[in-house]
Amino acid sequence: MNINIIDRDFNFLGQIDNYESLILTKKWHSIGNFELHLNINNTHAEYLQKENIIFTTEKKAYVILHREMNSANRKMTVKGLELKSYLDRWLVFPPEDRAYFRINDNTETIMKEYVQATLDRKGITDIVVAPDQGKGEKTVYQSRYKNLAKELEKLSLASGLGWDIALDMDNKRFVFDVIEGQNKTA
């Protein structure tokens, strides 16, 4: 499996296909992680820097947060989280005219409104919210100054819906979406 490396501006930095181990963990309700072990001298290993992004597919992308190098055995360990960890960096702020951000709608709409309001407040344009499909049960939810990713996790656990951020390489942007599970039992 090839590992592609890009920076936050979607500039392609390189590809690694010679590594010792790669453990990718995707999580439905919360944030998954990865751990990569390779030789320091691997081609393009110098691009495995903090905040760069690795991916195997556009739906399996991770941001690098930690890198360790052991000069004695020439090994490197790189760790990070799924792209949706970007949402773990921000809080849910209520609209200026209200004490709480309260929404009475289906779960997907609530999740997407929280994310869109945060992106608008922060002036972030490289993360976009996918069109709302009206997934999930209608509910009332309110939040105020709480971690955005934790609020999405609570809504996800209550509804069974998943959430993720995928790469859109063609348009050079990140796409937040809410996902319905599929029953794959025979």
> Could you tell me what percentage of the chain is helix, strand and coil, using 3-state DSSP and rounding each to the nearest 5?
20, 40, 40
Interatomic CA distance for residues 26 and 34, integer angstroms: 9
Q: Give me the chain's average pLDDT, please.
A: 95
Q: Using 50, 70 and 90 to split pLDDT, how confident is the model at 3?
A: very high
Q: What are the structure tokens assigned to 82, written together? A: 């799924």
What is each CA distance from 104 to 109, 110, 111, 139, 141, in whole angstroms? Answer: 9, 8, 11, 6, 7
**Confidence label for 121 from pLDDT (cuts 50, 70 and 90):** very high
Q: With a cut of 80, say whether residue 185 has pLDDT above it.
A: no
Render pLDDT for 51-79 as a digit per residue (tens, 0 to 9).
999 999 999 999 999 999 998 899 999 99
At position 159, the amino acid (one-letter code) is S
What's the CA gap between 84 and 166, in Å, rounded?
Answer: 8
Instruction: Work out the pLDDT band at 131, boundaries 50, 70, 90.
Output: very high
- Segment 111-123 mean pLDDT: 97
Residue 159 is classified by DSSP as H
pLDDT band with cut points at 50, 70 and 90 for residue 38: very high
Place of tokens 């002036």: 123
- pLDDT, residue 71, reads 84
Q: Which long-range contacts (CB under 8 A, 24 or more apart) does 89-92 make?
A: 90/118, 90/122, 90/147, 90/148, 91/118, 91/145, 91/146, 91/147, 91/148, 92/117, 92/118, 92/143, 92/144, 92/145, 92/146, 92/147, 92/148, 92/151
